Amino acid sequence: MWYFLREMQSENVSALEHPHEALRGFPVVISLSVEWGDQDSFAHVNNTVYLKWCETARVVYLGKIGMWPMIKNEGVGPILASVSCDYRQPVTFPDTVQVGARVSKIGRSSFRMEHVVVSVAQRAVVAESDSTLVFIEYARGKSLPLPPQMRQAMEQLEGRTLTSPGTSPAP
């Protein structure tokens, strides 16, 4: 796992100083190079690659809220329960994409993330994705309440209060 985090700091994944305006409000925005091999026989980036880009942004987000030590030390953490993607425009090589990640909703044991993918060459949103993650104990495969320190870390990173469905934000 720690090898993977070192890999995330390579030239291929970088934070942005000036993200596209569609990414305002996203506390995590990364930049990824589109690779030749990302394309399929239709000469555009394969649909599964968009999900990989969103996953990469999600992993960076989770790193920023301190999830990796919890996974390693306590054997608890998130697992992907669902993912969806709305494709707006095809992407081709060469290009760079900017990918934003943010938490949009927190439940008792789950949270929902939103992702936006922007093509730098097109200067446009090319995909929007949502994912739901469930906090579990990996050894038993059972869901657990999201720990208060994770909620707090998300709120700190987001710069806003995140509420569970049916609750009101704190005053």
Query: Looking at residue 102, which CATH number applies to its domain?
Result: 3.10.129.10
Confidence of residue 169 (pLDDT cuts 50, 70, 90): very low
Residue 125's alpha-carbon distances to 82, 90, 111, 122, 158, in angstroms, are 22, 10, 24, 8, 21
Q: What percent of the chain has pLDDT over 70?
A: 85
* CA neighbours closer than 13 Å in the CB half-sphere of residue 44: 10
The angle that helices 47-64 and 67-74 make with each other, rounded to 10 degrees, is 80
Number of domains forming the structure of the chain: 1
Question: Is 168 inside any structural domain?
Answer: no
The pLDDT of residue 165 is: 57
Confidence of residue 72 (pLDDT cuts 50, 70, 90): very high
CB of 152 closer than 8 Å to CB of 143 = no
Question: Is 166 inside any structural domain?
Answer: no
18-61 pLDDT, tens digit per residue, is 789 999 999 999 999 999 999 999 999 999 999 999 999 999 99
Segment 161-169 shows an average pLDDT of 63
Please calculate the CA angle 49-94-5 and round it to the nearest 5 degrees.
Answer: 50
Question: Is 165 inside any structural domain?
Answer: no
Q: Examine the pLDDT at 13 and tell me if it is beyond 70.
A: no
Whole domain around residue 103: which residue ranges?
Answer: 2-158
